[in-house]
């Protein structure tokens, strides 16, 4: 299929799902009859390397932060108590912060507050686990009903905590080393082997694994040998009260954007994995094809901050824009609050997600909820997130991306139709729906858990086989 194929009139691309994945969905989807036991009143969530209080778009803060915060708040609305354990990154942080009534963020001291890269955190998991155990010891026995860990680092601690507290462990990967290593961008270093081993241990230890999409569920089975009966698909969501359609011209006026310009937006952390450089290069091709365009005719918005390997050369994207003669066309905007972010989505003609890998793509669904079509790479969970509200591009060839953008910018009627479909598609991804599915998964984990506490077992029967040499 040619890049950004628009022959269907709406740029919809059907993704074939292997038979094994269909089987997995039949076993693990909501049709399994999972129920939410009333006994689940208190959930301990672990997010070792990044806090839901941090601003998404810089450092290690991104879609996972949004996911944890929104799910926790929704659980609180449904009369559950949630404690989120995360590593303290400054001495100024109080021991606990109330995110909303019913949701407490608990800061655990583990290692130096600043200057510790994510890849160095495995060495601090023992200290983090000790802090968690101390906090748990201050609670009455049986206080927590379930542990939900996010990312493999948290899974390592979650496995221990769930065993100590004799409760189920539900784990969400968010990203996986073997998936990332199979699609590395230029300049990205492979994920270390230690992470792959750690992920395999968590996969085996968890009572239930949640995946963002059917594609990710299949990857858990095929790449990590997960038991299909312990994998459920729980799509992430979007705040449908914040991210709503609105007046494009009013949004542009508030943001100081030219009313008649073609506005193309990138939102996310500036790092090779997210490929914002691809948008800048494709925009250069657009200018070559339209030499009469001025900065009043084309605006490329880059909303986010450096992260990962992007921190090694934080000025690299601005340097690239200057080298390509794009400085006047590219607007660099720091990470913004959600209300401002929604205004940027509304002000844009197109939002691009050119990542080399995305487990889902919250940026895509946020844009769609605002009625703005998305142009995304056909990778990971993006086909699910984009659905009928945008166009998928095969690969990361600059000319292919430029051609797709040019065709869409030249066809306001098609963009309007995509925008209407985008809003309808996004309505099925509210955080309420996500949390309902998650509660079903929690209930399933409670019913199927087989207790095997390692502290009482003579032969360490609760230790995953992946731990043993």
State the angle between helix axes of 398-409 and 276-289 in degrees (0 to 180), rounded to the nearest 10.
Answer: 60
Residue ranges at the known binding site: 49, 55-56, 60-65, 118, 151, 175, 195, 269, 274, 345-346, 348, 358, 366, 372
d(CA 322, CA 315): 11
Q: Are strands 81-87 and 298-303 parallel, antiparallel or unpaired?
A: unpaired
Which residue numbers belong to the known binding site for 1D-myo-inositol 3-phosphate? 49, 60-65, 118, 151, 175, 195
Beta strands in 177-307 (DSSP E): 208-211, 231-233, 262-267, 298-303
272 secondary structure, DSSP code = G
CB contact set of 211 (below 8 Å; sequence gap of 6+)? 172, 173, 217, 219, 220, 231, 232, 233, 234
Cα 259 off chain centre by: 32
Q: Cβ of 272: how many Cβ atoms within 10 Å? A: 20
464 burial level (CB within 10 Å; 0-12, 13-18, 19+) = middle
| DSSP structure string for 274-334 | G-HHHHHHHHHHHHHH-TT--TTTEEEEEE--B-GGGGGSTTHHHHHHHHTT-TTTEEEE-
Distance, CA of 161 to CA of 440 (rounded, Å) = 22
Query: What strands lie across the sheet with 350-353, from one edge to the other?
Result: 330-333, 298-303, 262-267, 350-353, 374-377, 390-393
In this structure, what DSSP letter does residue 183 have?
Answer: T
Q: Which tokens hold the place of 195?
A: 């992470």
Q: Distance between CA atoms of 193 and 190, rounded to whole angstroms?
A: 9
Give me 406's structure tokens. Answer: 């040019």
Binding residues for Mg(2+): 345-346, 348, 372
Q: What angle do CA 261, 266, 272 make, to 5 degrees?
A: 140
| Contacts of the segment 458-464: beta carbons below 8 A, 24+ positions apart | 462/163, 462/205, 464/159, 464/200, 464/201, 464/204, 464/205
The gap between the terminal CA atoms of the chain, to the nearest Å, is 46
Edge-to-edge strand ranges of the sheet holding 96-100: 96-100, 103-108, 81-87, 42-47, 146-150, 169-172, 208-211, 231-233
Token pair in block for residue 317: 């994207």
């Amino acid at each position: 299929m040619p890049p950004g194929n628009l022959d269907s009139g709406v740029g919809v691309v059907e993704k074939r799902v292997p038979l094994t994945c269909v089987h997995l969905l039949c076993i693990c989807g909501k049709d399994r009859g999972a129920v939410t036991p009333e006994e689940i009143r208190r959930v301990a969530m672990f997010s070792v390397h990044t806090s839901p209080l941090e601003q998404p778009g810089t450092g290690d803060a991104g879609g996972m932060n949004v996911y944890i915060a929104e799910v926790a708040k929704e659980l609180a609305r449904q009369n559950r108590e949630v404690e989120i354990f995360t590593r303290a990154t400054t001495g100024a942080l109080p021991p606990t912060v109330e995110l909303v009534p019913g949701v407490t963020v608990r800061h655990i001291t583990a290692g130096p507050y600043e200057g510790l890269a994510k890849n160095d955190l495995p060495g601090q998991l023992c200290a983090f686990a000790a802090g968690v155990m101390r906090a748990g010891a201050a609670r009455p026995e049986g206080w927590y009903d379930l542990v939900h860990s996010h990312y493999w680092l948290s899974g390592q601690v979650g496995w221990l905590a769930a065993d100590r507290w004799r409760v189920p462990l539900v784990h969400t990967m968010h990203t996986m080393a073997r998936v990332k290593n199979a699609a590395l961008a230029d300049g990205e270093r492979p994920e270390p082997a230690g992470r792959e081993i750690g992920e395999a241990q968590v996969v085996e230890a968890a009572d239930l694994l949640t995946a963002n999409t059917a594609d990710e569920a299949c990857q858990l089975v095929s790449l990590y040998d997960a038991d299909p009966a312990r994998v459920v698909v729980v799509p992430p969501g979007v705040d449908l009260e914040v991210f709503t359609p609105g007046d494009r011209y009013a949004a542009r006026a508030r943001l100081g954007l030219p009313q008649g310009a073609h506005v193309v937006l990138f939102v996310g952390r500036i790092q090779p994995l997210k490929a914002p450089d691809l948008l800048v290069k494709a925009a250069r091709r657009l200018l070559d094809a339209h030499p009469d365009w001025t900065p009043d005719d084309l605006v490329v918005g880059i909303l986010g901050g450096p992260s990962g390997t992007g921190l090694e050369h934080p000025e690299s994207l601005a340097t690239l824009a200057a080298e390509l003669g794009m400085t006047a066309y590219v607007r660099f905007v720091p990470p913004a609050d959600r209300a401002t972010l929604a205004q940027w989505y509304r002000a844009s003609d197109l939002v691009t997600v050119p990542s080399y890998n995305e487990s889902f793509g919250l940026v895509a669904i946020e844009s769609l909820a605002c009625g703005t079509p998305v142009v995304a790479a056909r990778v990971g969970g993006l086909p699910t997130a984009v659905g009928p509200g945008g166009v998928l591009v095969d690969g990361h060839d600059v000319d292919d991306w430029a051609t797709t953008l040019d065709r869409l910018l030249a066809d306001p009627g098609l963009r309007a139709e995509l925008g209407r479909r985008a809003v309808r598609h996004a309505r099925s991804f509210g955080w309420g729906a996500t949390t309902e599915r998650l509660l079903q998964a929690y209930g399933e984990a409670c019913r199927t858990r087989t207790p095997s506490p390692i502290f009482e077992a003579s032969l360490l029967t609760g230790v995953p086989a992946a731990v043993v040499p």
